[in-house]
Amino acid sequence: PMGSERMEMRKRQMSMSQETPGAALAQHGTGSKESDACCFCWCCCCSCSCLTVRNQDEERARRASQELQADSIPNCEESPAPTLEEVNAWAQSFDKLMLTPAGRNAFREFLRTEFSEENMLFWMACEELKQESNKSVIEEKARLIYEDYISILSPKEVSLDSRVREVINQNMLEPSQHTFDDAQLQIYTLMHRDSYPRFMNSAIYKDLLQSLSEKSIEA
């Protein structure tokens, strides 16, 4: 009996030793699958959920950037809708276009399509400066205009020749309402000769003219 018990125990030990490697291997396999969990890997597989989260974050960042850019664009001037007579008058001269807020808004919309809206913004800022009488306000506005439209570091820098830039640099020593008069005239002339003819042939102007003409006929 004792011998048979010893043989039985030896069989059980051998059986357990054979099962243990398989069990250990199975546990190792399970552990490796868990360690490959997507959230802890740096893999670039297409099915990786990390990529989905990353793409969502990038999309949010893009939208935030676009919203910030939209917010950074100054609002157009408040003005009543232009009449047919006003829109026809814009074709007579650039001066008549620039005299009305509606004309400036329409022209500014066109300049934005040509990535040259800074010309109108600079001209308007100069007009606003001329209305100031307080010395400290004049100095602050002149500084902002210089930083926004004259400085070579500004993304909204306007195109001016060296002579006009030298005049501005001298004027900035003692800023006044007329610090940028020469520059404003040069930009006004540039818009008149370069952008105004294209505006008159643009879809923005033609569509507005057609829409007002149709309304006039219906009335």
Number of domains in the chain: 1
135-146 pLDDT tens trace:
999 999 999 999
Which structure tokens are listed for 129?
């400066």
151 is a domain residue: yes
CATH number, domain with residue 133: 1.10.167.10
CB 111 within 8 A of CB 195: yes
Q: Tell me: the pLDDT tens digits for 154-211?
A: 999 999 999 999 999 999 999 999 999 999 999 999 999 999 999 999 999 999 999 9
Q: What is the pLDDT of residues 79-115, one digit of tens each?
A: 789 999 999 999 999 999 999 999 999 999 999 999 9
> Is 194 a domain residue?
yes
**Torsion-angle region of residue 71: left (phi > 0), alpha (psi -120 to 50) or beta?**
alpha
Which residue segment(s) compose the domain that 123 sits in?
Answer: 84-216
Q: Percent of the chain having pLDDT more than 70?
A: 65
If pLDDT is split at 50, 70 and 90, which confidence band does 6 have? Answer: low
Q: According to the model, what pLDDT value does residue 79 have? A: 76
* Within-domain flag for 14: no
From the number of C-beta atoms within 10 Å of its C-beta (0-12, 13-18, 19+), residue 6 rates as: exposed
Q: Which of 50, 191, 27 is nearest to 107 (CA)?
A: 191
Question: How many angstroms separate the first and last alpha carbons of the chain?
Answer: 120
Domain membership of residue 114 (yes or no) is: yes
Do the domain assignments include residue 25?
no
The answer to whether position 39 is within a domain reads no
